[in-house]
Amino acid sequence: MVREINIKRHVAVLAIVTLVFIIGVFIGMRQGLDAVSALGQDYESISMSSAMMDTLYLVEDSGMNASESCEVYSSLFERFSSDISDFNHRMWVLEEQLGKRDPALLSLKDKFNTLEVRNYLLLKKVDRVCKENHTVILYFYSNKNYDPERDQGEVIQQVIRKNETIVYHFDTDIPNPSVEMLIKKYQVFVTPSIVVNDKMYSGFQDKEALEKILEGLEE
Amino acid sequence: MEYVLSFLSLYFLTYLLLTYLEEEWEEPSSVDMPFVTVLIPAYNESENIKGTIESALGIDYPAYEVIVIDDGSTDDTAEKAEKTGVLVLRQKNAGKADALNNGMSHAKGEIIATLDADSYVDPKALRYMVGFFKNPRVMAVTATMKVMEERGMLVRMQKAEYMINNLFVKIFSLLDSVIVTPGPFSLYRASVFKKLGGFEGRTLAEDNEMALRIQSRNYLIKSSKKAVVYTKVPKTLGALFRQRKRWYVGYIENLRRYRGLLSPRYGELGSFILPVATMLLILTLTKIMIDTMDTANNLFQGTAMEESYFMQPFQFLTIASLTVGLILFFISILESRENPSISMFLHLFLLMMLAPIMYTYAFLMRAYEIITRRSARW
């Protein structure tokens, strides 16, 4: 007895499933564009906050007493460090989904790197004027030699106490004069590398090593 | 792997749905009423045996006999059976397959019906089922299985599951791809046992093994929508897990034995139903293991779970396959002549959540048995 296979029905089902898949691809792409757009809006918002903090430079230059604004700037920096952390995390998630070479993400990251450098320099000024001592980590990385087993960013997130440490992420693959200035200043030759309160630590620092570095700051 | 799993799921369910919508269902009536032997194998079924025998004796059919085979019960199953007046064969405990084979050696019927000792058959069942044997290639016919009780969350979950399984069996019947002749109530042409041998005792799922054996010889198994058998289901998680272990492990072991069925020679069964169903089972198990390890690793490392800000195509495929699954379930509720309710969907959802745990338990336990060289237990 010959058992039949209904080829027409299989072709119809294959067509339906393929169509569903294609619709899924389009929906995903659309959502991806929306997610990048939302991240772009976040960048604009953070950029605006940063612009407000820039006035500290002008206050000091004008001869006014900048230290009277210290309380305001401290709280702004706390919020800003949280915004940076969220932004970098969302950037990382989108890079995982869209790819690290996505042009829209690269452009956004480039602008954000510049914003981070500006904010870092302002933070140093705030610490000087307000006599504060924030723990700051500059994290330099490259996606070209990314090793998921040695993800410095992941280690930093595991170790730091978020309210007390500000972390700036710099993608060294993107040509950015501001970032290159920091690379030259801290003699960053290898990625990943971190600079913790102006001290350079070259190469991957595992959890234990990073904990020791941060404990050393407390002493 | 997610892409393959979601693609196959959607393909499988959509194919079943299209088959249901396109094919016409026929329930052949029969003028001939061949003599039927109803075999009831029983082991320690003192609580149920009287009711089962009474349901068998209440069958509306002109020519049949009932034989109970007591498989060395340690309670009063045999005595209770004898009081009903039916022929009771007693044997030393040797398992269900042996009991059935013993019963067949005393059977006079052209058609053999097997009825589990905890199941009740609808009076009209035989009349609805024998018509399928007009086709000389049909060697077995199955009935629609319904859950006897209504109480208990676990029972209601299984009731929902049986409803959709009944629909799947009907569709498989349309595709000549029925792979189980369920123990609660199935009919066989007596000559098939002469051609292919009796029930196999060395398998965990003799009903699945017999069905695959019949299919492997290119005979047909059909399913009757109208014939109904009511059966009891496990009421505790432990009993349910043991049952499913037997089913899942038995299925894989039987499929390994009849892997020759995985061939286009067997039409939709060999080229689509069996390969896809098996791949879905293996991929689901693999995904469960990988996801469990990932979750454990994330918890151990204190790292975040994977996030996503937008839908991946495989997630869209998964949503689509869930949608088709829900449509099929809705159809199965209507076919069962029940009133659809939200609680039925909830119960099916709960069982689907439980299913991966049952799969994992089944295969881990079997792996343990193999490693420790214990024989598989019911």
Structurally, how many domains does chain A consist of?
2
Whether A26 and A98 share a structural domain: yes
ipTM for the assembly: 0.84
> From its phi and psi, is residue B266 left (phi > 0), alpha (psi between -120 and 50) or beta?
alpha
| Residues in a beta bridge with A136 | A166
A:11-40 residues touching chain B, CB 8 A cutoff: 12-14, 16-17, 20-21, 23-25, 27-28, 31-32, 34-35
Whether A69 and A161 share a structural domain: no
Give the C-alpha separation, B65 to B59, whole Å: 10
Residues of chain A with Cβ-Cβ distance to B23 below 8 Å are none
What single string gives the DSSP state of each residue in B261-301? GSSGGGHHIIIIIHHHHHHHHHHHHHHHHHHHHHHHHHHHH
pLDDT of B179 reads 92
Q: What is the pLDDT of residues B121-167, one digit of tens each?
A: 999 999 999 999 999 999 999 999 999 887 888 999 999 999 999 99
H-helix or E-strand containing B319?
helix B313-335
Instruction: Flag if B137 and A16 touch (Cβ within 8 Å).
Output: no
The tokens 């002549």 sit on which residue?
Answer: B337
pLDDT of B111 reads 96
pLDDT category, B3, cuts 50, 70, 90? confident
Chains A and B form CB pairs within 8 A to the count of 84
Q: What is the pLDDT of residues B321-370, one digit of tens each?
A: 889 999 999 999 988 888 788 888 888 888 888 887 887 888 888 888 87
Q: B338 versus B119: which is more confidently predicted?
A: B119
- Domain limit, last residue, from A133, A164, A188: A133
For residue A131, give how far its alpha carbon lies from the nearest alpha carbon of chain B (Å): 35
Whether A72 and A11 share a structural domain: yes
CA distances from A31 to A24, A26, A36 (A): 10, 8, 9
| Strands annotated E in chain B | 36-42, 64-71, 87-91, 111-115, 119-121, 138-147, 185-189, 220-231
| Residues in a beta bridge with B42 | B70
Cis preceding-peptide flag for B184 (omega within 30 of 0)? no
CB B221 within 8 A of CB B211: yes
| Residues in a beta bridge with B263 | none
Instruction: Flag if B267 and A24 touch (Cβ within 8 Å).
Output: no
Strand order in the sheet with A199-202: A165-171, A135-141, A193-196, A199-202
- Domain limit, last residue, from A102, A133, A164: A133
In this structure, the number of other CB atoms found within 10 A of the CB of residue B332 comes to: 24
Whether A77 and A140 share a structural domain: no
Instruction: Flag if A1 and B218 touch (Cβ within 8 Å).
Output: yes
Instruction: Flag if A28 and B311 touch (Cβ within 8 Å).
Output: yes
In this structure, the number of other CB atoms found within 10 A of the CB of residue B267 comes to: 21
Q: Which of A68, A67, A156, A83 is nearest to A119 (CA)?
A: A83
First to last CA, chain B: 33
Q: What is the pLDDT of residues A75-91, one digit of tens each?
A: 777 777 788 888 888 88
Give the C-alpha separation, A73 to A52, whole Å: 10
Q: Strand B111-115 relative to strand B119-121: parallel, antiparallel, unpaired?
A: unpaired
Mean residue pLDDT of chain A comes to: 84
Q: What is the pLDDT of residues B39-84, one digit of tens each?
A: 999 999 999 999 999 999 999 999 999 999 999 999 999 999 999 9
Whether A118 and A140 share a structural domain: no
Whether A42 and A125 share a structural domain: yes
| Residues in a beta bridge with B185 | B115
Residues of chain B with Cβ-Cβ distance to A1 below 8 Å are 137, 218
Q: Which of B228, B237, B71, B204 is nearest to B145 (CA)?
A: B228
| Residues in a beta bridge with A185 | none
Domain boundaries, chain B: 2-21+265-298+309-371, 26-236
pLDDT of A135 reads 86
Probe site for chain A from B300, B309, B311, B321 (most A CB atoms < 10 A): B309
Whether A39 and A10 share a structural domain: yes
Give the C-alpha separation, B24 to B339, whole Å: 24
Q: Which of B271, B303, B310 sits opposite A35 (nearest CB)?
A: B310
**Tokens (6 digits) for B375:** 């024989």
Q: A54-68, B112-126, B288-302: lowest mean pLDDT where? A: A54-68
CB B209 within 8 A of CB B200: yes
- Say whether pLDDT at B378 is over 50: no
What single string gives the DSSP state of each residue in A44-82? HHHHHHHHHHTHHHHHHHTTS-GGGGHHHHHHHHHHHHH
CB B344 within 8 A of CB A66: no
Q: Three-class SS of residue B179?
A: coil
Domain B26-236 has CATH 3.20.20.70: no
Q: Three-class SS of residue A102?
A: coil
Whether A63 and A92 share a structural domain: yes
pLDDT category, B286, cuts 50, 70, 90? confident
- Say whether pLDDT at A71 is over 80: no
Q: A188-192, B104-108, B299-303, B365-369: lowest mean pLDDT where? A: B299-303
Q: Tell whether A174 lies on the interface with B, counting CB pairs under 8 A.
A: no
pLDDT category, A166, cuts 50, 70, 90? confident
Whether A115 and A203 share a structural domain: no
Length of chain B, in residues: 378
Give the C-alpha separation, B375 to A138, whole Å: 61
H-helix or E-strand containing B44?
none
pLDDT of A9 reads 94
Give the C-alpha separation, B144 to B162, whole Å: 9
Q: Tell whether A7 lies on the interface with B, counting CB pairs under 8 A.
A: no
Mean residue pLDDT of chain B comes to: 88
Residue A4: partners with Cβ closer than 8 Å, 6 or more residues away: B267, B268
In this structure, the number of other CB atoms found within 10 A of the CB of residue B55 comes to: 21
CB B218 within 8 A of CB A3: yes
Give the C-alpha separation, B127 to B226, whole Å: 10
Task: Identify the domain containing residue A148 by its residue range.
Answer: 134-219
Whether A127 and A195 share a structural domain: no
- Domain limit, last residue, from A117, A133, A149: A133
**Highest averaged pLDDT of the listed ranges A98-102, A126-130, B211-215, B237-241:** B211-215
CB A37 within 8 A of CB A106: no
| Residues in a beta bridge with B90 | B70
pLDDT of B305 reads 55
Q: B5-14, B165-174, B292-301: lowest mean pLDDT where? A: B292-301
Residues of chain B with Cβ-Cβ distance to A105 below 8 Å are none
Whether A81 and A95 share a structural domain: yes
Whether A191 and A208 share a structural domain: yes
What single string gives the DSSP state of each residue in B88-128? EEEE-S--HHHHHHHHHHT---SEEEEE-TTEEE-TTHHHH
| Residues in a beta bridge with B147 | B231
Q: What is the pLDDT of residues A99-134, one digit of tens each?
A: 888 888 888 889 999 989 988 888 888 888 888 888
Instruction: Flag if B18 and A9 touch (Cβ within 8 Å).
Output: yes
Contacting A with CB below 8 Å, chain B residues are: 7, 10-11, 14-15, 18-19, 22, 137, 176, 218, 264-272, 301-303, 307-317, 320
Give the C-alpha separation, B149 to A68, whole Å: 78
Residue A99: partners with Cβ closer than 8 Å, 6 or more residues away: none
Specify the amino acid at residue B57.
Answer: L
Give the C-alpha separation, A47 to A114, whole Å: 10
Q: For the domain that residue A154 is a member of, what is the CATH number?
A: 3.40.30.10
φ, ψ of residue B290 to 5 degrees: the values are: -65, -45
The tokens 């420790």 sit on which residue?
Answer: B372
Q: Strand B36-42 relative to strand A199-202: parallel, antiparallel, unpaired?
A: unpaired
pLDDT category, B176, cuts 50, 70, 90? very high
**Tokens (6 digits) for B352:** 């689907």
The tokens 């086709």 sit on which residue?
Answer: B135
Q: What is the pLDDT of residues A177-198, one digit of tens each?
A: 999 999 999 999 998 999 999 9
Q: Which of B137, B310, B317 sits opposite A21 (nearest CB)?
A: B317
The tokens 């058998």 sit on which residue?
Answer: B229
